[in-house]
Amino acid sequence: MKANWYYLPLTFLLLIGLVACGGKSPKASQSNNSGSSSQESNLTFFGVALEQFDEVGRPIWKVNAKKAKYTKEKQIGQAENPYGELYQDGKVVYQIKAEQADIEQDGKQLFLKGKIFATDPSNGIVLQGNELEWRPQEDLLIVRNQINGTHKQLKAVAKEARVKTREQRVEFSGGVVANSADPQMQIRTENLIWQIKEEKLIGDRPVQIDRYKNNQITDRGRGNSAEVNLKTKIATIKQNAQIDLLDPPMQIASNSMTWNMTTEAVTTNSPVRVFHRAENVNVTANQGEMKIPQKTVYLTGNVNAVGQRRQTLKAQKLTWYLDKKLLEGQGNVVYRQVDPPLNFTGETAVGNLQTENIVVKGGKSGGRVVTEIIPQQRVNRQ
């Protein structure tokens, strides 16, 4: 059951003086009919303190201004150099300031329009925007219109930021671009949740993650959703997950992948496809791991490697040494090539798929059979 709130009237502390621009009569009508003229309250105050309290007398906001205009409709209008605090449970959750802002309040909500800065004193987050809305009953702070959020761990721009102060959660939406210093990366999406205490970023929409080294992109991840742990520096990409590497020039695709940005390893327990763009070699398997610095790929379960000329190597396990251009297959090995047509089976295989130089060992006859396949010299016919 929600508690009923009551709100105290505005309190204006007149520290310097008061200029009243009210009571002016409108221009007389040219009509002969008699009419009544209305007076609009338009007062200018110097040294203004705007306060609001909850039902037990705890403050929910306090705003001060050097100068402010008072109107009947808005209660307080344009204010110069406003600054103050937003409270939750009697404690300051955000400090706000602006050079100039329009202020409105209805007892339940506070609105500011202008170039506004909101700072969380507990963690140092600064949100900058052109509109601010404080809804204390909903524990919700909204900053809109050209959002720029800064923190020692993250910098983000978006159209809107919605802050849950008790949960220590910020949700950015609309053209979100978030940059992290450690790990050095950039996230682009339409909706990004930042769980501040857990140090996690969660994207539930299509997301792109660019990994940087020395301010240069080295890897790029994509997926329909993602979660990044800023503490462990591990990203989990799900649903149509894909990671593109610059060196080596590889593409890894799966339904779900874990990307460790410290060890630079990509792991998946789901069906995976690994494509070497330069060599045009495509490998699929039930699961796999790639160690990027070592330029080595480990694949397990129904491994199928296909070369540029449709030559294939199947195995239960496969280790792919990218620098050496070497494949090592184990378990139920089957090698096939189209030209010349050859088919070999065994327990292990080692070789270069592109040059079609493969050594298969351990035939089904029980002996240690070694079969060496060397491509025939092709003669160009005129």
**Beta partners for residue 168, in sequence order:** none
Model confidence band, residue 79 (pLDDT cutoffs 50, 70, 90): confident
Predicted local confidence at residue 363, as pLDDT: 60
The whole-number average pLDDT for the span 49-73 is 85
Which residues are CB-contacts of 31 (< 8 A; sequence separation ≥ 6)?
Answer: none
Neighbour-count burial of 16, counting CB atoms closer than 10 A to its CB (0-12 exposed, 13-18 middle, 19+ buried): exposed
**pLDDT per residue over 275-323, tens digit each?**
999 889 999 999 999 999 999 999 999 999 998 888 899 999 999 999 9
The whole-number average pLDDT for the span 127-133 is 95
Model confidence band, residue 104 (pLDDT cutoffs 50, 70, 90): confident
Q: How many helices (H) and strands (E) does the chain have?
A: 0, 28
Is the pLDDT at 61 greater than 70, yes or no? yes
Own/partner pairs, 340-347, CB within 8 angstroms, 24+ separation: 340/376, 342/373, 344/371, 344/373, 346/371
Of the ranges 75-79, 199-203, 289-293, which one carries the lowest mean pLDDT score? 75-79
125: DSSP letter: -
Percent of the chain residues past pLDDT 90, beyond the cut: 61
- Minimal CA–CA distance to 251: which of 268, 235, 274? 274
Model confidence band, residue 74 (pLDDT cutoffs 50, 70, 90): low
Of the ranges 81-95, 220-234, 346-360, which one carries the lowest mean pLDDT score? 346-360
- Higher-confidence position of 159 and 9: 159
Predicted local confidence at residue 48, as pLDDT: 81
Is the pLDDT at 382 greater than 70, yes or no? no
**pLDDT per residue over 13-23, tens digit each?**
333 333 333 33
Which residues are CB-contacts of 273 (< 8 A; sequence separation ≥ 6)?
Answer: 251, 252, 253, 254, 282, 283, 284
Q: Cβ of 190: how many Cβ atoms within 10 Å?
A: 16
Neighbour-count burial of 365, counting CB atoms closer than 10 A to its CB (0-12 exposed, 13-18 middle, 19+ buried): exposed
Q: Is the peptide bond before 340 cis (omega within 30 degrees of 0)?
A: yes
Percent of the chain residues past pLDDT 70, beyond the cut: 82
CA dihedral 81, 87, 90, 92 (to 10 degrees): -70
The whole-number average pLDDT for the span 319-329 is 94
Neighbour-count burial of 378, counting CB atoms closer than 10 A to its CB (0-12 exposed, 13-18 middle, 19+ buried): exposed
Model confidence band, residue 214 (pLDDT cutoffs 50, 70, 90): confident
Model confidence band, residue 32 (pLDDT cutoffs 50, 70, 90): very low
Q: What one-letter code names the amino acid at 235?
A: A
Predicted local confidence at residue 17, as pLDDT: 34
Predicted local confidence at residue 371, as pLDDT: 54
The whole-number average pLDDT for the span 331-353 is 87
**pLDDT per residue over 164-189, tens digit each?**
999 999 999 999 999 998 889 999 99
Predicted local confidence at residue 41, as pLDDT: 56
Is the pLDDT at 35 greater than 50, yes or no? no
Is the pLDDT at 369 greater than 70, yes or no? no
